[in-house]
């Protein structure tokens, strides 16, 4: 009984329980996928520890020595005991939980406030799309595993406990070297940023000493890299040509469209606003040192791609360090919104609206609510204040009209999305009702407060009615636009509304962008059949939620380990569940990162599977479209020639395509044929 009598112990258990539940909520909302997002290549390496007979005819296995991570070795032990799918699934849950614990501790360290810490976690529940790297990745990768470790390193770094901080960075080097290098360089830059406070002598000692410590801990990976080197510092032009074919979106920042920059800029603007309320001076200096370190890494990445191309710096993908900025931006913003909310009625509405906008990761709403927050700062300048409030009101109305009426060009470009509009309207109405009952917004008579509450209830009821009408509207109109909470992806305006569970999962637009649509219909499906929804949004171990994955499971259970498959190269990750070698996967081209010669062979195979020369003819999505068009037009003779050259035994085509081969398996999405001589 004494154990439970301690208030601090109870609080810690409550804190861990709440964060664990929020972690599960995050996974449900963002999804968890096994064998997607090019995970298939890494699963080849992982499974080679468990069964050395797998993928022996697949050149992707040749890259295992150049993929520097000890994570596969570590996970091989639980994978033998519990199975690889179970190991990855529960590892992802654990990593997600550790991520939110680290965010909580960082926020509490900076602002000494549990409410700020919890709000920081809540704001990061949904993925924040950002230039360089999103805040949440729904697949278990080495970089996903190592990120919470690096956040704990940041926590110790800010506390001035540099030895454990750099110990964790060194450990990170052995798990995912690029992510750890990002943070290491940020920390070194931070030492330089605060040199006036520490003094030049101590700064140089810190840089030298902690560099040696990190290097000592990362020696296993260092010796590994010496025994199995990757590309040269100045590789041949062919390497650059191949890597730009698939990897251009990571390298060429000028290739990113205005949409990407505006979306990322919205979070930068919010962070700048949030700097009004800062943590203790020394902590804030260190945070800003890390942030300027990110800016420096972005400049270095851009310079050494466009001006003086150096492969080692290009393959570090330094722009991905922006993920650390996103975390601190949300922590600072959580504190700013809580401080702002304590003030008047306008402050409460603006901060609550911004909080919902950030939670939904809706950058258009974020940009909208920046206006009243700036207006609050300019209250004494009446003309500017009124202009900002008027602009917000006009743009808000325009974005609502654009969300409901889809074919007004300029208004449609301002649309916030119908679901986000409902969510923010209901949230602000509930907030207003709560504040009225507390007398903090307007101190009227009981009758006046009651009247306002009744009006609010009518508005809520009307919103629910609109929701039901919208559901009917979506269910009966062709060409509906996918409405989803995260208004940061492309819309497929020619698609049919979602009406079945099979359409709830991730969709690929014509531009190749993965979208997770959430319509009124799909929300209704979730509320009435939550288990069915979860099966499509979360890949539970031992399940195959799509036709593509069901075809893979059949291949694993009904073919020999050394059989080779020809698969649509524009659909990735057939290796993941099938555990079979394949001719080619479009995602394989990115592996030239690790070995030039193997990369050339993988490109050769991709071009064979696409029936076209890709190098010099297209990049990224244009290549995928060309590949899809050609593959769908292949005849039996095309597949026979590929089979004779690469030793393939089976071919997979999309339904309803048919071939004059022996059909051995089919489902509604795919057919598998045994190739006849």
pLDDT of residue 319: 93
The domain of 609 spans 547-674
The pTM (predicted TM-score) of the whole model is: 0.87
Backbone angles phi, psi at 49, to 5 degrees: -75, -25
The answer to whether the CB of 570 falls within 8 A of the CB of 628 is yes
Query: Burial letters for 233-269: b for 16+ Cβ neighbours within 10 Å, e otherwise?
Result: eebeeebbebbbbbbeebbebeebeeebeebbebbee
pLDDT of residue 503: 38
CA 544, chain centre distance (Å):
22
The H or E element spanning position 7 is helix 7-30
- Scanning 405-516, the segments in alpha helix (DSSP H) are 409-413, 418-438, 446-475
Q: 242-262: per-residue pLDDT in tens?
A: 888 888 777 788 888 787 888
The answer to whether the CB of 188 falls within 8 A of the CB of 205 is no
* Cα dihedral 666, 671, 674, 677 in deg (nearest 10): 140
Residue 156: pLDDT above 80? yes
pLDDT of residue 251: 79
Please check whether residue 19 lies inside any domain of the structure.
yes
pLDDT of residue 12: 77
Out of 394-403, 450-459, 510-519, pick the least confident: 510-519
pLDDT of residue 451: 61
The C-alpha atoms of residue 522 and residue 513 are separated, in whole angstroms, by 20
Residue 366: pLDDT above 50? yes
Choosing from 238, 267, 299, the residue where a domain stops is: 238
CA 52, chain centre distance (Å):
32
Please check whether residue 73 lies inside any domain of the structure.
yes
* Cα dihedral 34, 610, 255, 308 in deg (nearest 10): 100
Please check whether residue 307 lies inside any domain of the structure.
no
- Tally the residues of the chain: 677
The C-alpha atoms of residue 586 and residue 605 are separated, in whole angstroms, by 9
Choosing from 238, 269, 290, the residue where a domain stops is: 238
Choosing from 180, 205, 238, the residue where a domain stops is: 238
The answer to whether the CB of 572 falls within 8 A of the CB of 627 is no
Residue 491 CB: number of other CB atoms within 10 A? 20
Output the DSSP codes for 598-632: HHHHHHHHHHHHHTS--TTT--THHHHHHHHHHHH
| Percentage of the residues of the chain whose pLDDT score is greater than 70 | 82
Residue 494 binned pLDDT confidence (cut-offs 50, 70, 90): very low
| Percentage of the residues of the chain whose pLDDT score is greater than 90 | 56
Say if residue 81 is exposed, middle or buried (CB neighbours under 10 Å; 0-12, 13-18, 19+): exposed
Residue 401 binned pLDDT confidence (cut-offs 50, 70, 90): confident
Which own/partner contact pairs does 45-49 have at CB distance under 8 Å and 24+ positions apart?
45/72, 46/72, 46/75, 46/76, 46/79, 46/84, 47/84, 47/579, 49/73, 49/76, 49/79
Please check whether residue 533 lies inside any domain of the structure.
no
Residue 456 binned pLDDT confidence (cut-offs 50, 70, 90): low
Q: 79-102: per-residue pLDDT in tens?
A: 999 999 999 999 999 999 999 999
Please check whether residue 232 lies inside any domain of the structure.
yes
- Give the residue-averaged pLDDT of 312-333: 94
Residue 466 binned pLDDT confidence (cut-offs 50, 70, 90): very low
Name the domain count of the chain. Answer: 2
Contacts of 40 (CB under 8 A, 6+ apart): 572, 573, 574, 575, 576, 585, 587
Residue 495 binned pLDDT confidence (cut-offs 50, 70, 90): very low
Please check whether residue 469 lies inside any domain of the structure.
no
Residue 621 binned pLDDT confidence (cut-offs 50, 70, 90): confident
Residue 303 CB: number of other CB atoms within 10 A? 13
pLDDT of residue 511: 37
Residue 458: pLDDT above 70? no
Beta partners for residue 662, in sequence order: 674
Residue 652: strand, helix, or coil: strand
Q: What is the mean pLDDT of the chain?
A: 84
| Residue of 25, 29, 45, 241 whose CA lies nearest to 118 | 25
Contacts of 416 (CB under 8 A, 6+ apart): 362, 364, 365, 368, 399, 400, 402, 403, 487
Please check whether residue 191 lies inside any domain of the structure.
yes
Please check whether residue 611 lies inside any domain of the structure.
yes
Q: Kindly list the distances between the CA atom of residue 250 and the CA atoms of 135, 318, 386, 600, in Å, as whole numbers in the listed order.
A: 16, 9, 42, 20
Out of 21-30, 191-200, 245-254, 577-586, pick the least confident: 245-254
pLDDT of residue 457: 58
């Amino acid at each position: 009984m004494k154990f439970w009598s301690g208030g601090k112990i109870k609080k810690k258990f409550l804190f861990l329980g709440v964060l664990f539940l929020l972690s599960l909520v995050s996974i449900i909302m963002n999804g968890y996928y096994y064998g997607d997002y090019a995970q298939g290549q890494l699963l080849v390496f992982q499974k080679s520890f468990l069964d050395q007979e797998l993928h022996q005819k697949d050149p992707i296995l040749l890259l295992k020595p150049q993929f520097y991570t000890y994570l596969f070795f570590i996970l091989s032990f639980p994978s033998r005991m519990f199975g690889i799918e179970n190991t990855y699934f529960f590892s992802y849950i654990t990593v997600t939980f550790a991520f939110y614990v680290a965010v909580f501790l960082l926020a509490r360290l900076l602002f000494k406030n549990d409410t700020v810490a919890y709000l920081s976690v809540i704001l990061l529940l949904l993925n924040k799309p950002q230039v360089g790297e999103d805040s949440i990745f729904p697949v278990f990768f080495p970089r996903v595993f190592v990120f919470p470790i690096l956040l704990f390193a940041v926590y110790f770094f800010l506390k001035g406990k540099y030895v454990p901080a750099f110990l964790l960075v060194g450990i990170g080097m052995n798990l995912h070297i690029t992510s750890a290098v990002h943070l290491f360089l940020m920390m070194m830059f931070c030492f330089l940023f605060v040199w006036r406070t520490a003094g030049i002598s101590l700064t140089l000692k810190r840089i030298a000493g902690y560099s040696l410590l990190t290097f000592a801990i990362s020696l296993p990976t260092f010796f590994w890299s010496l025994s199995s080197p990757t590309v040269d510092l100045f590789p041949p032009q062919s390497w650059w040509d191949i890597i730009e074919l698939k990897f251009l979106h990571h390298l060429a920042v000028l290739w990113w469209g205005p949409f990407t920059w505006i979306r990322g800029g919205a979070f930068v603007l919010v962070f700048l606003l949030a700097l009004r309320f800062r943590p203790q001076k020394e902590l804030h200096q260190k945070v800003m040192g890390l942030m300027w370190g990110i800016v420096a890494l972005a400049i270095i990445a851009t310079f050494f791609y466009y001006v003086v191309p150096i492969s080692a710096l290009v393959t570090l993908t330094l722009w991905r360090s922006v993920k650390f900025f996103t975390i601190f931006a949300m922590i600072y913003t959580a504190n700013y919104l809580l401080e702002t909310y304590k003030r008047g009625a306008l402050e409460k509405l603006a901060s609550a609206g911004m909080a919902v906008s950030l939670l939904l990761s809706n950058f258009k709403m974020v940009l909208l609510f920046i206006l009243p927050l700036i207006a609050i700062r300019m209250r004494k300048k009446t003309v500017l204040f009124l202009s900002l409030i008027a602009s917000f009101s006009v743009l808000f109305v325009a974005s609502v009209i654009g969300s409901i009426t889809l074919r007004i060009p300029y208004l449609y470009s301002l649309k916030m999305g119908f679901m986000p509009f409902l969510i923010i309207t209901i949230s602000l109405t509930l907030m207003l009702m709560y504040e009225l009952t507390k007398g903090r917004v307007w101190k009227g008579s009981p009758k006046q407060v009651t009247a306002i509450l009744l009006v609010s209830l009518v508005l809520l009821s009307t919103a629910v009615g609109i929701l039901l009408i919208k559901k009917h509207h979506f269910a009966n109109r062709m060409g509906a636009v996918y409405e989803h909470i995260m208004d940061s992806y492309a819309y497929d305006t020619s698609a049919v509304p979602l009406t079945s569970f099979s359409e709830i999962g991730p969709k690929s637009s014509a531009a190749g962008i993965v979208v997770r649509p959430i319509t009124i219909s799909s929300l209704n499906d979730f509320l009435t059949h939550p288990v069915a929804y979860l099966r499509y949004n979360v890949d539970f171990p031992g399940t195959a939620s799509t036709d593509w994955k069901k075809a893979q499971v059949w291949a694993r259970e009904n073919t020999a380990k050394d059989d080779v498959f020809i698969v649509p190269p524009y659909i990735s990750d057939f290796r993941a569940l099938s555990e079979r070698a394949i001719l080619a996967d479009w995602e394989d081209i990115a592996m030239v990162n690790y070995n030039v010669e193997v990369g050339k062979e993988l490109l050769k195979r991709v071009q064979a599977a696409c029936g076209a020369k890709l190098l010099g003819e297209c990049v990224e999505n244009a290549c995928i479209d060309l590949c899809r068009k050609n593959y769908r037009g292949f005849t039996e003779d095309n597949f026979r020639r590929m089979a004779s050259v690469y030793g393939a035994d089976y071919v997979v085509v999309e339904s309803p395509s048919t071939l004059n081969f022996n059909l051995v398996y089919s489902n509604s999405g795919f057919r598998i044929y045994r190739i006849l001589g």
